[in-house]
Amino acid sequence: MELNLQDKVALVTGGSKGIGLATTRTLLDEGARVVVASRTTTPELDQLAGPDLVHVPTDLTDPGAPAFAVSRAVDVFGGLDILVNNAGGPPPGVKLPRFSFLAPTDTDWRVMFEFNLFSVVRAVRAAIPVMLGRGGGAIVNVSSGNARQPAAMNVDYSAAKAGMNNLTKALSEEFGPQGIRVNTVSPGPVRTAWWTDEGGAADILATATGSNRDDLMDKIAPEMMKLTTGRLVDPQEVADVIALLVSPRSASTTGADFVVDSGFLKAV
């Protein structure tokens, strides 16, 4: 399917690995020009280097960072058509999961919301005037199935993502008539660094269940989460949905939440 993204300008936050990297690669393959905002680059991102890719090293918990990334897109490529707010999950230095509401402190809550919600608010605030000046645009906020499936685990993270879903609906209502579409994509558990890094979710859950990290990711976690497909999501599967949503092929889709979760959410 031709997505009609040739020469569109995109900003992808957290685009150096995982879902963000897969999204960056996909948008580049479709002819878009991409600005990636992340704290550091990676060898995988470096392999995509070329005239249509710019990396902006920045910490998105810094209140000025999202607007700076938007300004770089304007300076380098002349504007902004697409914003993918992908950065999220455990803030820098934080390990998840946490197993109780009582575990995170006030500081933990603030840091979680800074990374998973307030950085999105700031990026959208900076992007919308630029998009309006170009006649419209598309925003995808990467949320989580946990926003709709509360549990006694990662409560602060889930609350931040639930706020993102509400924000997305509000933005779609206000700016849809002005040509800016805003949607969410809600992944389930995705085989990314959150799980696979040393000391990450796989190791934490393996310790809690008395198993090993490979069995945890391949068998135990899918069973615990009742994943219909029996496996964690691949990042490219999420990126494909994001690419379709930012495409003009999805011109009548706004205010929607697209679930890519291996069957994690069961509710109608």
Q: Which residues are catalytic?
A: 157
CB atoms within 10 A of CB 5: 24
Contact 257, 186 (CB under 8 A): yes
Give residues with Cβ within 8 angstroms of 106, minimum separation 6: none
Compute the distance between CA of residue 110 and CA of residue 53 in angstroms, rounded to an integer: 32
Ordered DSSP codes for 131-145: HHHTT-EEEEEE--G
Give me the long-range contacts of 70-74 (CB less than 8 A, separation at least 24): 70/11, 70/123, 70/126, 70/127, 70/130, 71/126, 72/35, 73/9, 73/11, 73/35, 73/130, 74/130
Taking CA atoms, 70 is separated from 38, 60, 80, 86, 189, in Å, by: 13, 12, 7, 14, 29
User: Which of 6, 90, 77 lies closest to 36 in space, CA to CA?
Assistant: 77
User: Which of 140, 142, 138 lies closest to 180 in space, CA to CA?
Assistant: 138
- Which amino acid does the sequence have at 262? S
Q: Which helix (H) or strand (E) holds 56?
A: strand 53-57
